[in-house]
Amino acid sequence: MKVNIYYGGRGLIDDPTLFVINKMQEVLEELHVAVERYNLYEMKNSITTLPKTLKDADGIILASTVEWYGIGGFMTQFLDACFLYGDKERISKIYMCPVVMSTTYGERDGKLTLSTAWEILGGLPCSGICGYIADTVSLELNDGYAKIIDKKAENMYRVINQKLSSFPASNQAVKQMVSFTKNMDLTPQESEQLSQYAADDEYVQKQKEDIQELASYFKDMIGSQDLDSKEDTYIKDFQNHFKPQAGFKAIYKITISEKKKTLILQVNNAELKCFYGTVDKADVEIEMSEATMNDILFARMTFQRGFMGGSMKMKGDFKILRTLDQIFTFMDSAI
């Protein structure tokens, strides 16, 4: 028979939980039980790999100390790892004895938390120990307390040795009916390997960086598609609202500050060439924001008013700039 002890406290000298599990370990070893201790505070970076240590265990002791509220982070992290990476079929055959001592209020709640968590995982319950101990010395010197601990250890041995059955737990039944948790369809071996990856900080960090890089790539791709769509819309807007004037020729160069491309408008009498690119020389060069361009296209503003109001910068012949509002009739379409 083998029993594993998982201690979730901080390892302080005056921790009453340490005295209890040390005493239980002595009793179990006298009964020729192989006992292995795992101090979770010493295994901060490898807690996610501990579910694999349940493979050869017939029973376990989950021990924690309530110092201010709850069973503590190390024990919670271990239970999370059992849920995510543990072999549920193997857990269903393992008896668990909870040990929760407190130096403040909450030992009964802590014991209930461990029992409930193990039952939800599918494991088998044993009667546990909980108590409030203000002074560890009083615990060590009290023979009555020592007898209680001895009896609990012996009872755990009998339960495991005789493989005693227990009534089904309602929280397990309810969990099966209402839980919407998506379980990964992994073998125990795959779950164990996954837990090792999760415990590798460098691997996890690399995965996060890769995910961030992929997210950025797809975001840029989608943004590029949206940008191309908007640019095509701008070209169509100018083409659809072109109202040529006889004898008028001009080249306009429009730069939108948020974009990397420049819109060229080449007007030659009734002919309009509208494209993104460059020209050697333009009669008018305009720089504006995307918001200003949208205001003009939706007839909320004219080119002339945008320049006068400071919404755009212009270089070139102001008379040719004014002609933009005459040959592109956005205002008429709004009416």
Convert the pLDDT of each residue in 143-183 to its tens digit: 999 999 999 999 999 999 999 887 777 766 656 655 545 55
Kindly state the DSSP code that residue 242 receives in the 8-state scheme.
B
- CB burial readout 55-83, b (16+ within 10 A) else e: eebbbbbbbbbbeeeebbebbbbbbebbb
Parallel, antiparallel or unpaired: strands 129-132 and 284-288: unpaired
Q: Is the dihedral of CA 190, 191, 196, 201 positive or negative?
A: positive
Coil, helix or strand for 216?
helix
Domain that holds residue 21: 2-199
Last residue of a domain, one of 175, 199, 223: 199
Asked if residue 33 belongs to a domain, the reply is yes
Same domain (yes/no): 180, 57: yes
Asked if residue 210 belongs to a domain, the reply is no
Same domain (yes/no): 22, 91: yes
Same domain (yes/no): 149, 269: no
Q: What is the CATH number of the domain that holds 308?
A: 3.30.1050.10
Same domain (yes/no): 127, 170: yes
Is residue 288 within a helix (H) or strand (E), and if so which, with residue range?
strand 284-288
Q: What is the pLDDT of residue 135?
A: 87
Count how many domains the chain has: 2
Q: What is the pLDDT of residue 333?
A: 52
Which one, of 263, 228, 235, 270, lies nearest residue 249 by Cα?
270
**What is the model's pTM?**
0.60
Same domain (yes/no): 99, 164: yes
Which one, of 162, 174, 195, 3, lies nearest residue 94 by Cα?
3
Same domain (yes/no): 173, 88: yes
Query: Given its phi and psi angles, is residue 60 left (phi above 0), alpha (psi -120 to 50 degrees) or beta?
Result: beta
* 296-311 pLDDT per residue, tens: 888 888 998 888 888 8
Q: What is the pLDDT of residue 91?
A: 94
Cα separation, 233 vs 274, whole angstroms: 12
At residue 85, what is the residue type?
A: Y
Asked if residue 297 belongs to a domain, the reply is yes
Cα separation, 217 vs 221, whole angstroms: 6
- Highest averaged pLDDT of the listed ranges 29-38, 134-143, 317-326: 29-38
160 and 1 Cβ atoms separated by less than 8 Å: yes
Asked if residue 182 belongs to a domain, the reply is yes
264 and 253 Cβ atoms separated by less than 8 Å: yes
Is residue 115 within a helix (H) or strand (E), and if so which, with residue range?
helix 107-120
Asked if residue 135 belongs to a domain, the reply is yes
Same domain (yes/no): 133, 258: no
Mean pLDDT, residues 81-99 taken together:
93
Same domain (yes/no): 192, 330: no
Which residues contact residue 135 at a Cβ distance below 8 angstroms, ignoring those fewer than 6 apart?
none
Parallel, antiparallel or unpaired: strands 284-288 and 271-276: unpaired
Which one, of 69, 61, 228, lies nearest residue 160 by Cα?
61
Last residue of a domain, one of 176, 199, 222: 199
Asked if residue 236 belongs to a domain, the reply is yes
Same domain (yes/no): 74, 115: yes
Same domain (yes/no): 66, 162: yes
Q: CB atoms < 10 A from the CB of 325, how many?
A: 16
Which one, of 123, 118, 128, lies nearest residue 151 by Cα?
128
Asked if residue 284 belongs to a domain, the reply is yes
Same domain (yes/no): 92, 139: yes
Mean pLDDT, residues 60-75 taken together:
94
At residue 271, what is the residue type?
A: E
Q: What is the pLDDT of residue 168?
A: 76
Last residue of a domain, one of 174, 199, 224: 199
Q: What is the CATH number of the domain that holds 26?
A: 3.40.50.360
Distance of alpha carbon 128 from its chain centroid, rounded?
A: 35
306 and 288 Cβ atoms separated by less than 8 Å: yes
* 224-247 pLDDT per residue, tens: 555 555 557 788 888 888 998 888
Same domain (yes/no): 179, 270: no
Asked if residue 212 belongs to a domain, the reply is no
